[in-house]
């Protein structure tokens, strides 16, 4: 199909075909942008390498590394880590949802635009019937052609968009689950470090509050007297 045939099809469908073409361009640009957004990072991949990155954030790579470095920056406590992961969850979902709403709107608008073309085509058909004469059949055929062509085009535009929307929604849920997994790994690691720090602080506090006399007594070992038989008192 060459350019001349494409232009001829657009003209036969009336101005509604131009509207459908614009809708299709915006829809598929949005769809490819969403696909790139949700599949470009390493967040939804295997989590085997994440634990070493959680223990040493400087070794983190890609999107996962950026999240780990952000959530652990400044050695925050567990509550602050949870708040930062909530921020990451919200930002990730908002970035996808805003474009997903536009995609779903365009998917719903394409069949409606095709239906508009159907109505216009049927009106042209009835106009041809009312006109009568030798040209009435050509007008009727042209109206029916316009009605069916716009309906078909609207459905062809919308159907792939529906499947793309489902794939993106499923990928978004995978990303959210990956963030939750990363949060659990970080909190487990953070809880272990906090427990170690609490033990060390308890020992330091105990050492600081112990009186010097008790420290000296604790350091002294009990003397064991070892003597020969002559030094042992004899009992008559």
Arithmetic mean of pLDDT, 116-132: 78
Please give the model's pTM, rounded to 2 decimal places. Answer: 0.70
Q: Which of 65, 69, 71 is nearest to 43 (CA)?
A: 65
User: How many helices (H) does the chain have, and how many strands (E)?
Assistant: 7, 0
Residue 57 resides in a domain: yes
pLDDT band at 108 (very low <50, low <70, confident <90, very high): very high
Q: What is the CA radius of gyration of the chain?
A: 38
Q: Write out pLDDT tens, residues 26-71.
A: 999 999 999 998 998 888 777 777 888 888 888 888 888 888 888 8
Long-range CB contacts for residues 51-54, cutoff 8 Å, separation at least 24: 51/185, 51/189, 54/182, 54/185, 54/186, 54/189
3-state secondary structure of 60: coil
Residue-level pLDDT at 214: 54
Give the C-alpha separation, 157 to 196, whole Å: 59
Does 150 reside within a domain? yes
Nearest partner of 115 among 158, 160, 157, 150, judged by Cα: 150
Sorted by sequence, the CB contacts under 8 Å of residue 43 that are 6+ apart come out as 62, 63, 64, 67, 175, 178, 179
Instruction: Supply the pLDDT for residue 196.
Output: 45
CB 106 within 8 A of CB 161: yes
As a whole-number percent, the residues of the chain with pLDDT over 90 amount to 23
Mean per-residue pLDDT, 188-193: 73
Structural domain that includes position 90: 3-220
209 band by pLDDT with thresholds 50, 70 and 90: low
- Does residue 46 belong to any structural domain of this protein? yes
Contact 165, 89 (CB under 8 A): no
Indicate whether 216 belongs to any domain.
yes
Kindly state the average pLDDT of the residues 210-230.
Answer: 50
What confidence score (pLDDT) does residue 162 get?
A: 94
**Domain count across the chain:** 1
pLDDT for 201 equals 47
Lowest pLDDT segment from 29-38, 125-134, 168-177, 193-202: 193-202
Note whether residue 142 is domain-resident: yes
> What pLDDT is recorded for position 232?
42
- Residue 14 phi/psi, 5-degree rounding, is 80, -170
Instruction: Note whether residue 38 is domain-resident.
Output: yes
The chain-wide mean pLDDT, for the chain, equals 78
Does residue 228 lie in a domain region?
no
**Residue 230 in domain:** no
């Amino acid at each position: 199909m060459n350019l001349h045939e494409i232009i001829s099809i657009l003209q036969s469908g009336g101005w509604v075909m131009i509207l459908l073409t614009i809708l299709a361009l915006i829809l598929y640009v949005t769809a490819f942008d969403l696909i790139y957004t949700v599949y470009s990072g390493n967040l939804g991949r295997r989590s085997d390498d994440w634990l070493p990155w959680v223990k040493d954030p400087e070794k983190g790579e890609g999107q996962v590394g950026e999240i780990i470095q952000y959530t652990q920056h400044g050695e925050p406590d567990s509550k602050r880590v949870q708040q930062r992961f909530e921020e990451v969850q919200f930002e990730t979902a908002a970035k996808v949802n805003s474009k997903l709403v536009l995609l779903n709107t365009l998917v719903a608008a394409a069949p409606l635009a095709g239906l508009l073309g159907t109505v216009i085509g049927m009106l042209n058909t009835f106009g041809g019937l009312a006109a009568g004469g030798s040209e009435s059949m050509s007008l009727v055929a042209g109206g029916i052609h316009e009605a069916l062509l716009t309906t078909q085009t609207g459905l062809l535009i919308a159907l792939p968009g529906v499947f793309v929307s489902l794939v993106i929604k499923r990928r978004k849920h995978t990303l959210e689950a990956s963030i939750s997994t990363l949060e659990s790994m970080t909190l487990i690691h953070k809880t272990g470090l906090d427990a170690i720090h609490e033990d060390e602080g308890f020992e330091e506090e105990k050492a600081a509050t112990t009186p010097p006399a008790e420290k000296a007594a604790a350091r002294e070992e009990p003397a064991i007297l070892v003597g020969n038989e002559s030094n042992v008192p004899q009992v008559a």
